[in-house]
Each structure stands twice: as C-alpha cells, then as structure tokens.
Structure 1
Amino acid sequence: MLSSLLIQALLASHTLAYDQLLGFDAAAEIETRSIDEIYQAALKEGGVVTLWLGGDEPSGGNGMKEAFETKFPGMTLNVTVDLSKYHSVHFDQQLASNNVNVDSIAWQTAHDFPRLDAEGALLHYAPNGFQEVYSPMRDPRAAFYGILTDAWTFKWNTKKLSGVSAPKEWEDWLRPEFKDKLVLTYPNDDDAVLYAFDLVMQQYGTSWFDRLLTQNPQWVRGTGTPNTLLNSKNSTLAASFTTDAPLADNGVDGLNFTYPVQGSFVSWFQLAAIPKDAPHPEAAKLLHNYFLSKEWQVAQGSWPVRRDVPALAGYPDIFDMPGTNVTYFQQWMADRARVERLRNWFEDRLGTAQGLSPLIDGI
C-alpha cells in the first residue's frame, strides 16, 4: 500500500527537484506566434498571470501592472513585490510541496536561477526577441534571461545642497558638505548594495569606509527608501549612492545623478523565468514576450537588454559604459561564501539592520 501511494505521489509531481543533466531534455520551446496570437491564447486560458517581482517598495510593480493591463485588455497581472531573498525561499517551499501557484519570477538573486534550472523547475522558453538579448544576459537554453538592467547612481538633491559640486568619484562622498546629508541602505541587508561596498573598498580600502562613517550617514532598509527621503521636504537627508533612477530623470525636480568613471559602480540585469509548473503558462508567455518587446525595453528608462534597442541618448551601450561590468554581478552572487563573509564584516561594523521591512515601514 505504501509503495503504491509513493508511486502515485511521484507520478503526480511535475517538477523534479534533482539534477536533470543526464535526462538530455533541455531543448527550448522557440516562440513562433505573434504576440496577438499569444494574447488570445492567454485570454482563453483565463486571462490571469501572477508575477513575483523582487523589490523593496509595495508600489514597485504598479507601473508594470498598469502598462500590461492597458496593453492587453481583459488580462489581469497580479504582482507580488517582496525582497528577492524571501521570494526565493517561498518559491522553494512551493516546489517542495508540489504546489506552484506563480507564473513568472523576476528577482535580484541571480544565483538562484541556474540552481532552479538544474532542478528542472524552469520552463525552457524563448520569447520573441530572445535572440536579440545580449548573449551574456540569456541562458542558452532559454531557462532564464535578463529583462531589464539596473544600476546604483551617485544621487543628490540640489534643492537641499545648493551649489554643491557634483560628486563624480567615491572619494567625493567624504567631502564636508555631505556630512549628515547621506542616506544609505545597510549593505548587510541587500546583496546588490553589499556588492557596491565590496567594489569600492577593494579599490579604496577600509580607510574609505572609516572616513565614510565620520560623515554620519543615516542607515536605512531598502533601496527605495533613500529616494523617498531625498525627495522629502521634511528630511534634511540629501544624497545617496545606494539607489537607482531612470536615465531620463537626471535633473528632474532637482535630483541629479552621476556615475563614477575611475571607480566602479554596480549594474546588473534582472533575470526572469517561467516555472515549468506555472498554472497559467500562456499568460506567462504573454508577459515574457511583453518584457522582451522593444516597446517595453524603451519604456524602462534604463539600458535595454536587447542589442537592437539603443540606450537613451547621451549614454553608451551598457557594455561600453565606463566604470561598470554588467555581467559580473551574477558571478559575484554565485560565490555565497564570499557574500556571507562580507555581510558578517559589515554587520560587525554597523550592527544588524534596524527597522521594519521596507515593504511595511511606510517610508
């Protein structure tokens, strides 16, 4: 009886959480339909798609939801925003219980995607435009691929720092005018911020960090929180290097930003994938075809992941941008022993990250 139940359970399981290498069954499904044909298939399927999006502000998926539902009337995009490190473990729990209820995943934790693919958890699917994605940004079997690029900027509010000379390199943040004005995300609470501190301190040493601490920065949780405080008229905090901004927003509402040239800054491509057991596969395919469309790539205001979509005027291709290596973040994230040692070092200096989750802190 027990063996019979076990066989039934195994047969009922779709995703097999063990190495799939020697199954030799990794060929990708190459999309040949038009996006309108996929749209009609998604509507017939029920018109619903669920996305788990990495982020640290509850409103982080609102623009994506509005744009998708406007583009495809009758479709509903349910977006759950959470810290990528938490999305990852929640998805692992779904896999362990054979109860996947998400259709698309897009996270910062780049090291998770090769592991999930090796476990057989991801659909090998190449949307329209997949071949135009830069080769380093896509898995050759289309298990996962970049959908957008992101980067931390040197950012300051000129309304609060009138007449200040633009910070152009990392040592500029140590100037007297930035004392008591910096708001920074805890590096021991966000891996992409930790990566930034690793880059700068490998170049400038621990003395740079010691001097940064004398600037009395305000440490916060979340990379969206600095943006909020920079914009707030009720806060004297006026500058940060642990947040991002659309390239076209430079100078808007007094917020200026630059990127270092001699020093290194963080950039990466956000990976996305469709779970093999996604409950709404046609809707997931529609969403991913939309992600890779020229229309959506241009609308993101950052460097595109497609080689046939030019960067915003005034900026070079991301691979030609001085001061950054957009592909190295994935390699850095894969070395979890290094990440853990760095996290412990900063936690020893700064203490554990204080405050509520940025998703519920109201900032």
Structure 2
Amino acid sequence: MLRSLLTASAVLAGQALAYDQALGFKGAALVETRPLDAIYKAALAEGGVVTMWLGGDERTDEDALKKEFEGRFPGMTLNLTTDLSKYHSVRFDEQLASGHVHVDSIAFQTVHDFPRLDAEGALLHYAPVGFDKLYPAMRDVRAAFYGILTVGWAGKWNTDKLPGIEAPVEWEDWLRPEFKDKLVLTYPNDDDAVLYAFDLIMQQYGTSWFDRLLAQNPRWVRGTRSPDTIMADPKSTWAASFTSDGLFPTKNINVSHPVQGSFVTWFQLAAIPKDAPHPEAAKLLHNYMLTPRVAVDARLVARPQRCAASCRLPWHSRDARHQHYLLPRVDVGPPPPRAPADLVRG
C-alpha cells in the first residue's frame, strides 16, 4: 500500500513539474485559415498517421469515423481507440507525467478534465475552421478545447416488446405498471453523466421516486451501451431504458425526452495535446469532424425536424450543465473502488 501511495505521489508530482504553467501566457490561439486539402497535404508530409483516443462504451462504437476519414483522405491512417473516458483520462495523465505523449487527439466525456489540462499547459490552443460558428457553450474562449459532438440521455423503449403503450415522457411515467420487470438501467455510480441524471431526477421528485423505481425491479448493468444491446435483443424481455443516448428513434426503438423534467445533455470535448507527435494530422481530423456534413451526422448541429417531438436541443437547454456538475468533485465524489458486488454474480 505504501509503495502504491508513493508511486501515485511521484506520478502526480512529475505531472505538476512537467505541465504546471500557471501564468504562462502564450498569446492568442492559432486560427486555421487553410482549406482542408492544404491541411491534408501537410498531414501526409508529416507521415499520414493520426492517433485518436475517443470516449465511448464499446470499441466498435466509432468504427464508421475511421472508415469515413480514411476514405475521404487516401493515404491517411486513423489509429482510433474507443474506450471509457475515465480510463482514457488516466492514461493521458500518465503520458503527461512520463513526458512522452504519443496520442494526437483526445475526445472525452470527462469534460471537467479539459480546463485542468489547459491550466497545466498540456493543450494546443488551436481553432479549426468553423470554430467561431460553434455554440459558445461548446468552445473554450482560447480554443484549447471544443465540442465535436453532442450526447444526451433519452427515454427509449422497444415497440416490438411494448406495442401500443402510451409514450413515457416524464420521469414518473417510467413507474407505470407496464414497465415492471422491463427496465434495464446503467448503475448510477458507473458513469458521471448517469449519476447526474439521477441527481436531476431526485432533485425534482425526491428519494421516494427512486424507491418506487426499485420496486419496478430494473436490471442494473455496466455501461450506457449495454441497455441498447439488451433492449434490441429479441430473446430478452427487457424492453426500456432511460440511461443511454439518443436523439432520434430507430426502426423499433422509440425515443422521448421529458418536457417538465430535466435530462442530461453535454458536449463531448476534443483537444490536441501540445506535444502531439502528429499535430498536422490532428488538425486535419478536427477540421474534418467540424465540416458541416460530418458535424450534423455527429449531432453537433442537430436539425430540429430530425429530433424527437419532445426533444430540447442541448445547446440552448437548461440541461446542458454536465460540466458544471462535474467540476466540484467534492459533490460528485471519487470513483468507486470496485464494481458493485452484484456485478459479479454468477
């Protein structure tokens, strides 16, 4: 235990010495003016490789991005690693502490990390083309980080398993009898954004709401992609959830968002490390992701007509305060030391 504590202290001390640059004013951000093809040529000349760490539940979540990027820019290779943001964040801190950064682009759900990383001098101040068009809440004033997509939890239900039901809209609707033994939910302590969702609900409805939810006998799982997988499985009887993302309905999964209640939305932030080994390739990737077509597909600038009828668009929503919730860590608390005991039940 002592060795572990000393190692952790050494890592943190090394990180502080390497990146603590308080009052290290570096002037204005680099504002991109080149066309995309010019950045592409520079990225090829640099080696044609970009490494991105992207927050997500499953490693295949964003495979389409790799395929589209490499198809649009022949000769470029996108080394994309999708993993939980809380793991990515720790690994990136380890790179900073070691003085050997080998990732070119980071995009995490742990949005509270970015102001800290910028204060440590770890991020490149770079404004991609279109940066000034982003909604103000989605961008750092010095262009150290900015949103590349929006995420929001939604109510979802499988219409094949729950045909003809009245749409659940408000949080109390999920307590109706038809959802008994049908809800599959992410553990609140598994994900900060899920924890925030339960915090918002219980601020409005109190602990009695949660007691009634437990009486519905929900199935608790790790990860926010797991409910989607389980709901979609025709062999599973679990049919509904409100702890996974979605703005739009799909073939047999309907979507709703509360009108009177609050729900969680946030902007997945991205940044280029100051010491990225392939900065031109990272710039190409970020500029590509902020092009209008890609941005719309990524729900960065979602169109109202595509949104579910009850959906509030996140950038002008009172619900887009996830970052503010995460910043006071004394309120959120430390991550649990281990998974809940019943996660390992046979």
Shift of 1:16: 6.3
Per the alignment, residue 244 of structure 1 pairs with: 245
Q: Bigger shift: 238-247 or 282-291? A: 238-247
Matched position secondary structure for 2:288: helix
Out of 328, 332, 337, the position equivalent to 1:339 is 332
Counterpart AA for 2:254: N
Per the alignment, residue 235 of structure 1 pairs with: 236
CA distance in 1, matches of 2:231, 2:34: 45
Matched position secondary structure for 2:255: strand
| 1:149-198 Cα distance to aligned partner (Å, 9 max, x none) | 11000000010011211101000111111010000001101001000000
CA distance in 1, matches of 2:57, 2:87: 11
- Identical-residue share of aligned pairs (%): 62
Per the alignment, residue 133 of structure 1 pairs with: 134
CA distance in 1, matches of 2:195, 2:342: 13
Out of 259, 275, 278, the position equivalent to 1:277 is 275
CA distance in 2, matches of 1:330, 1:87: 17
Residues 26 and 236 from structure 1, CA distance in 2 versus in 1: closer, same or farther, beyond 3 angstroms? farther
Q: Which runs of 5+ in 1 are unaligned?
A: 1-12, 357-363
Per the alignment, residue 286 of structure 1 pairs with: 284
- Retained in 2: the 8 A contact 1:106–1:270? yes
| 1:274-295 Cα distance to aligned partner (Å, 9 max, x none) | 0001010100000010121111
Q: Does 1:354 align with 2:338?
A: no
- Retained in 1: the 8 A contact 2:154–2:247? no
Shift of 1:126: 0.5
- Retained in 2: the 8 A contact 1:181–1:236? yes
CA distance in 2, matches of 1:58, 1:316: 29
Q: Which runs of 5+ in 2 are unaligned?
A: 1-13
CA distance in 2, matches of 1:112, 1:352: 29
Counterpart AA for 1:318: P
Counterpart AA for 2:270: A
Matched position secondary structure for 1:53: strand
- Retained in 1: the 8 A contact 2:186–2:243? yes
Shift of 1:317: 4.5
Out of 308, 314, 338, the position equivalent to 1:318 is 314
CA distance in 2, matches of 1:221, 1:332: 21
Counterpart AA for 1:253: K
Per the alignment, residue 124 of structure 1 pairs with: 125
Q: Normalising to structure 2: TM-score of the pair?
A: 0.90
Q: Does 1:330 align with 2:319?
A: no
CA distance in 1, matches of 2:256, 2:277: 43
Residues 205 and 192 from structure 1, CA distance in 2 versus in 1: closer, same or farther, beyond 3 angstroms? same
Out of 291, 295, 313, the position equivalent to 2:293 is 295
CA distance in 1, matches of 2:316, 2:123: 31
Shift of 1:245: 2.2
Counterpart AA for 1:354: L
Residues 26 and 191 from structure 1, CA distance in 2 versus in 1: closer, same or farther, beyond 3 angstroms? farther
Counterpart AA for 1:230: M
Counterpart AA for 1:274: I
| 1:298-333 Cα distance to aligned partner (Å, 9 max, x none) | 122x252xxxx7444456653445xx422x111111
Q: RMSD of the TM alignment (CA)?
A: 2.3
CA distance in 2, matches of 1:353, 1:119: 39
Counterpart AA for 1:284: A
CA distance in 1, matches of 2:42, 2:300: 31
Q: Normalising to structure 1: TM-score of the pair?
A: 0.86
CA distance in 2, matches of 1:30, 1:190: 34
Residues 224 and 353 from structure 1, CA distance in 2 versus in 1: closer, same or farther, beyond 3 angstroms? farther
Shift of 1:21: 3.5
Counterpart AA for 1:98: G
Shift of 1:270: 0.5
